[in-house]
Amino acid sequence: MVLQATNLSCLMVFFLAFTASLAFQEDEFLDGQLTLVIEDALEGGPDPIFTQRSTIQVRSVKSGNAVVTHTRPWTTDLNQKLKKLVEADDLYRIRVYQKGSEEKGYVSTFTKACQVFESRLSETLSLMVDSSGTSVVGVWLITPVCVCDGEENGGESDNVGGSSNGGGGGGEIITSPSSSLQHNTTVIIRSPIPSPVPDTATYIEKLEAMKNEKAEGKDNRSFLAKYWMYIVPLVLIMVVFGGGQDGGR
């Protein structure tokens, strides 16, 4: 009997753990998977050319679970293009669209190229996803360096991957794609909080109840029934004074 009770307890624990894991998986993965493509422009001008650099797979909007994959290695050529944007005091632009959508509805943002350069490709992408978790409606790009000083990666180094140790901002130069860097991206997933909906049904019910109470409390008696206490004294006075006048004649 003791052995059977122990086995039953083990089965109960296993069942509860299995149910909890299923609930976790549903909350973690099944509330709307979304794959986003990130493109950036490393050339200035009024009509910059965008190329794909990363993808983001949003597994859960509720928990903010997202996986970033950088599809483009950071090469010496890209590093020089970013350097030219910095020298021209130009902007670094990105745009995002949903992979697999019929129409590429881009959402875009930008920051100063020097902020990206001095931050060594470290960035935070804040993505606003609609309440259904099926499309992206906004994007923001934040870098650790908010104010460019031209010193951290300046001087003799032309490489965003220059070492932060040592004076003068020196560092190793990328010599080939095999030794290239990658974007260091942190993703924040946000969704709009639905505004409170007014409870009109309850309000209408309260109005109806107040109307019914007033209707029930309304005095439906006749005119004589309501004002007899005023009418009777008036009639008596008229009779008394009228009778006195007749007797005097």
Q: Are 159 and 86 in contact (CB under 8 A)?
A: no
Average pLDDT over residues 127-145: 88
- pLDDT band with cut points at 50, 70 and 90 for residue 153: very low
Number of C-alpha atoms within 13 angstroms, CB side, residue 171? 18
- Does 90 score more than 90 pLDDT? yes
- pTM value surpassing 0.75: no
* One-letter amino acid of 226: K
Higher pLDDT among residues 123 and 194, named by residue:
123
46, pLDDT greater than 60: yes
pLDDT level of residue 225 (50, 70, 90 thresholds): confident
**Residues 38, 68: Cα–Cα separation, whole Å:** 10
Q: In what order do the strands lie in the sheet with 107-112?
A: 65-70, 50-60, 34-41, 91-98, 107-112
Q: How many residues can be counted in the chain?
A: 249
Q: Give which of 63, 10, 54 is closest to 32, Cα–Cα.
A: 63
Sign of CA dihedral 182, 183, 186, 189: negative
Q: Which pLDDT does position 23 carry in this prediction?
A: 40
Average confidence (pLDDT) over 117-127: 93
pLDDT band at 107 (very low <50, low <70, confident <90, very high): very high
Q: Which of 36-40, 134-138, 155-159, 193-197 has the lowest mean pLDDT?
A: 155-159
**pLDDT range class, residue 244, cuts 50, 70, 90:** low
Average the pLDDT over 95-106 and give the result. Answer: 84
Residue % of the chain over a pLDDT of 90? 33
The more confident residue out of 187 and 59 is 187
3-state secondary structure (DSSP) of residue 186: strand
pLDDT attached to residue 164: 35
* Poorest-pLDDT segment among 68-72, 182-186, 213-217: 213-217
Per-residue pLDDT at 218: 63
**CA 143/CA 82 separation, integer angstroms:** 15
Q: Output the pLDDT for position 220.
A: 65
